[in-house]
């Protein structure tokens, strides 16, 4: 099994990077949609329906599959012999960042489902602030992997 992981490593890494890019793009865009949904469309009417559909498709067609692919191919990467030394701090920081990103993903999914039910308790300003969460986590994750502290 380890020979297969070693041989596939560059391909797995490439797919992992593409999945991360897709996931991050959706994590950046969905809160922005929710800002405009909150401030422009409200919780009923034709604009609400359009925003709810856009949020749903982004979350279900792009964001969730990209998250799953990120996890699957990331776990394959860390399972490859010789890639990660678990005595270092960086893999644990990266892992904590990815788990936090996943929690943020789940929070967005809950917000999206609320919009679909015609419910929302978060303001546009709060969505704008939450939009910074993936950026902060991205900084942690990228520097953990590239600096390897």
The pLDDT tens digits for 84-100 are 999 999 999 999 999 99
Residue 105 pLDDT = 98
Segments forming the whole domain that contains residue 93: 2-147
- Give the whole-angstrom CA distance, residue 23 versus residue 63: 5
Residue 51 pLDDT = 97
N-term to C-term CA, the chain:
29
Residue 11 pLDDT = 98
State yes or no: pLDDT of 20 exceeds 90: yes
Confidence label for 119 from pLDDT (cuts 50, 70 and 90) = very high
Per-residue tokens: 93:
């920081």
Cα 28 from chain centroid (whole Å): 8
Question: What are the φ/ψ torsions at residue 95 (nearest 5 degrees)?
Answer: -60, -45
Residue 2 pLDDT = 86
Whose tokens are 């856009």? That residue is 54
Q: What is the pTM of this model?
A: 0.95
- Give the whole-angstrom CA distance, residue 88 versus residue 31: 34
User: Cα–Cα distances in Å, from 109 out to 45, 52, 57, 64, 145?
Assistant: 21, 12, 11, 9, 27
The number of distinct structural domains making up the chain is 1
- Give the whole-angstrom CA distance, residue 67 versus residue 89: 23
Instruction: State pLDDT tens for residues 37-85.
Output: 999 999 999 999 999 999 999 999 999 999 999 999 999 999 999 999 9
State yes or no: pLDDT of 107 exceeds 90: yes
């Amino acid at each position: 099994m380890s020979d297969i992981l070693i041989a596939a490593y560059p391909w797995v890494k490439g797919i992992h990077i593409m999945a991360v890019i897709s996931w991050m793009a959706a994590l950046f865009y969905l809160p922005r949609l929710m800002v405009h949904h909150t401030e422009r469309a409200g919780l009923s009417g034709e604009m609400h329906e359009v925003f709810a559909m856009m949020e749903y498709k982004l979350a279900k067609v792009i964001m969730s599959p990209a998250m799953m692919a990120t996890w699957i191919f990331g776990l394959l990467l860390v399972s490859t012999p010789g890639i990660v030394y678990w005595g270092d701090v960086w893999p644990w920081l990266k892992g904590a960042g990815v788990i936090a990103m996943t929690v943020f993903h789940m929070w967005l999914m809950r917000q999206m489902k609320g919009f679909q039910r015609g419910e929302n308790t978060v303001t546009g300003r709060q969505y704008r602030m939450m939009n910074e969460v993936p950026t902060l986590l991205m900084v942690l994750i990228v520097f953990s992997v590239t600096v390897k502290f």
